[in-house]
Amino acid sequence: DAMVIQNPRYQVTQFGKPVTLSCSQTLNHNVMYWYQQKSSQAPKLLFHYYDKDFNNEADTPDNFQSRRPNTSFCFLDIRSPGLGDAAMYLCATSRDQVGSPSPFTSAAGANVLTFGAGSRLTVL
């Protein structure tokens, strides 16, 4: 089945020790997103790639970086994790960019997000 796969599912790191989370997709979607979700909070968009174009959210800390070496893979790098970075990190994909000019393309699900299972990060 086509899907979005995240690894690792659980990651424990020490304060300040770099972490890389990976996401792969077999959906051949153009857009890949990274969300951060803390307990009982809404998923918060960190950044997304539309094909190779990187789009960073204005309030995403510099501590968070991303790479998309090819269509199928996307990585989230946390350079110096702090205690406040403990969260579930969700990778998602969509066929087209959310906000595509015609909302009617959305009727076909073009900008529907498909989420991976998530990577839960614990910082000690």
Exactly one of 19, 23, 90, 121 binds another protein (CB under 8 A); that residue is 90
Q: Is 48 in the site for another protein (CB under 8 A)?
A: yes
| Beta carbon nearer to another protein, 44 or 79 | 44
For residue 64 the two structure tokens come to 């968070």
| Beta carbon nearer to another protein, 84 or 109 | 109
CA distances from 2 to 15, 26, 76 (A): 35, 5, 21
Closest to 63 (Cα-Cα) out of 20, 113, 28, 94? 20
Q: Is 30 in the site for another protein (CB under 8 A)?
A: no
**Is-contact 33 113, C-beta < 8 A?**
yes
Binding site for another protein (CB under 8 A): 40-45, 48, 55, 57, 88, 90, 97-99, 103-104, 106-107, 109, 111-118, 120
